[in-house]
Amino acid sequence: MSEAINRRIQVDLSGRTAIVTGASRGIGKAIAMRLAAAGAKVACVARSADKLNETVDAITAAGGEAEVHPCDVSDSEAVTKLVESLAEKWGGIDIVVNNAGITKDTLIPRMSDEDWDAVIATNLRSVFLFTRAASLVMMRKRSGRIINIASVSGLMGNAGQANYSASKAGVIGLTRTVAQELASRKVTVNAICPGFIASEMTQAMGATLDEFVKTRIPAKRLGEAEEVADAVLYLASDSAAYITGEVITIDGGLTP
């Protein structure tokens, strides 16, 4: 594997299998690449195959194993079928990272039913669907890691993001509850709340973001997708076997 991929923490996930939703870009792509670099076989999931191919190509070029699996992550039947087929093909599923997410921002008086429903479906319903399907597989094996990507918006709120903040707060509540339900079966469930991470979306904010970083983020910089991926890698490892129901914030000190 390349030096750039291996420069961070080292975890051996050889022989493990993983599903990463929203793996076509940004944080999801970084997570998929990080798990693959550690030796896991990764199913890269998103609605469209186009960008997923780029993720899988990058993983295989670096010597890892990955597959493209287009799927509507809010479709119950499609999600159940995908998880069951992968579990049968691979002999189980060890890691699920629920990262898929969208934004449709506007102030609450102007927010449409469609914008609310779309964000809740992608950001929260998908986490429920993949968690439910994977939990059945993991409980039988009596091992597993479910890692949900929430957001600081789910902790502190964010004007113009009522739908997004509600969805991410829901992910946090779901994480803490399911962690209690699955702990006796040796399945851990944790959430990560990224703050402002360098991406195409944050680049588009321009000078507004620069001022926010200077005045609101104690670290005085944006986070990197790889820093979130490192936290996922740790939670997926054997070293994190006694960590469950936790919400880990990666935001440079933004939230108290």
Residues marked as catalytic: 164
E strand or H helix at 149: strand 144-149
User: Sign of the CA dihedral 80, 81, 84, 90?
Assistant: negative
- How would DSSP label each residue in 176-244? HHHHHHHGGGTEEEEEEEE-SB-SHHHHTTTHHHHHHHHHH-TT-S-B-HHHHHHHHHHHHSGGGTT--
Place of tokens 């970083």: 213
47 secondary structure, DSSP code = S
123-127 — which CB contacts under 8 Å span 24+ positions? Answer: 123/164, 123/167, 123/168, 123/170, 123/171, 124/166, 124/167, 124/168, 124/170, 124/171, 124/174, 125/74, 126/21, 126/73, 126/74, 126/79, 126/98, 126/100, 127/98, 127/171, 127/174
Q: What token pair was written down for 1?
A: 């594997």
Helices (H), 1-125: 3-6, 26-37, 49-61, 76-90, 113-120
